Structure 1
């Protein structure tokens, strides 16, 4: 397992896709702050060139990182489906559960690196280019990132599961959207009429990140994780969801015929 882990680390270090994805995300967040800064220079009364607006735009749009987990998993997975290289890896005598675990570890490691670097650049560029609205909004952003890490983990686990158990990449995308977005959205809609479905929908990551209400004062946006109960629930959902998709994917992969 150690040798396989080393080979995966080496392969991902040399994988240009990882760097293109990371630099693309970093360039995007810098670009957004630059645009806000340019508007401020042309109009000194422009109200949105602040760290409040920049940081709140990120922590109120956590659905975007959840979606970005899918292409990230695709890059780390390394075109195994397209190139049919999993069969070769298995033929070397590496147990399937170890293959599944090593890929998962690599995805978690690279995802964490991306999250830290992109968030860090967003925060630093915000303070350098925009008007400082105070530490409150930085704390809110950090709290949102901490709360959403378990939810991102569910998204990663589902994509990881699908890549190991699907025949092609298109089916991975379709099933991910159905499970992660369509089903929670439908349950939330039906929950308006059937209470139990509404309760279930409240525990789904897609609906959690979309649970935004208007507050007052500095709390102009109230997110699901603003309360201690909501923050704890995020971790419960993350742990349970990750275990379900990880175990299901590994068990199915162990019985899957690799072509």
Structure 2
């Protein structure tokens, strides 16, 4: 399987799709800090506040990556569906289990590389254009949130990977994956507002911990605007900038939920794929 993973990585990282995606992500990351730099030039006295805000922006933006997982999975799968080469891969002697976990491994590698480079570009442009924060603990706080989000990304990748194997159509599996993210979250959120007894159910939605644990928002009607979008509001950024490291319970919650999604999605996806007819 290691040879399969190496071959898939070589093929994937040499695709124009991959390079263009990385370029777009890096440019968008740099653009955010260019905007902050323009604000800094107009009012240099607020430099530290702008630096704090720019660093804090990373935290709510972590949620966007759960949806961007679709792009990462599509990078790995699109050519297989376009040229119908899955059957050729199996004919070379690879088992369906090897192909399944091989694709998942490549998806995780692609996501990690693109995410790390994007984060590096963001921080590099921030420090070059605006400088370093006086309170360096804020950097540790941001990385604390990023670390807590990693298990959730693994769960999302496993869920999207399962959708891609079960549904052999990029558009169709994209809608199904988005449905798994959005529908339970909205439904359970509405039920929780009606009756707090539904809170444990709401906590099982994959995107919930980004709001409740990582961004620290309370579930209430007053926060509905934040929790229906990305949580990107001035008051949310201020609360993140003045927050502390996540408690162990929050980190454990993110870890358990992410791994639960990973295990369940992988078991279901692999079971269905091993029985599905490959054309």
In the superposition, the TM-score normalised over structure 1's length comes to 0.90
Q: Does 1:247 align with 2:267?
A: yes
Q: Does 1:86 align with 2:82?
A: no
1:220 to 239, 245, 255: 239
Q: CA deviation at 1:119?
A: 1.3
| Aligned twin of 2:185 | 184
**Count of aligned residue pairs for this structure pair:** 258
Indicate if the aligned counterparts of 2:17 and 2:75 stay in contact, CA closer than 8 A. yes
SS in 2 for 1:50: helix
SS in 2 for 1:192: helix
| Aligned twin of 1:173 | 174
Q: CA deviation at 1:128?
A: 1.3
Greater Cα shift, 10-19 or 191-200: 191-200
For the structure 1 residues 227 and 41, does the alpha-carbon distance in structure 2 shift closer, same or farther, using more than 3 Å as the test? same
In the superposition, the TM-score normalised over structure 2's length comes to 0.84
- Per-residue CA shift, 1:81-132, capped at 9, x if unaligned? 2221112212223110000011111111121112222112211221111143
Structure with greater proportional helix content: 2
- Per-residue CA shift, 1:10-50, capped at 9, x if unaligned? 21232121121112111111111011101211233456862
Higher relative contact order (CA 8 A, sep 6+): 2
| Aligned twin of 2:228 | none
Q: CA deviation at 1:240?
A: 1.1
| Aligned twin of 1:163 | 164
| Aligned twin of 1:106 | 106
Q: Which residues of structure 1 form unaligned runs of 5+? A: none
Say what the alpha-carbon RMSD is for the aligned residues: 2.4
- Per-residue CA shift, 1:158-206, capped at 9, x if unaligned? 1111111103111111111111122122111112234443212123221
Greater Cα shift, 15-24 or 64-73: 15-24
Q: CA deviation at 1:225?
A: 7.4
Q: CA deviation at 1:71?
A: 0.6
| Aligned twin of 1:120 | 120
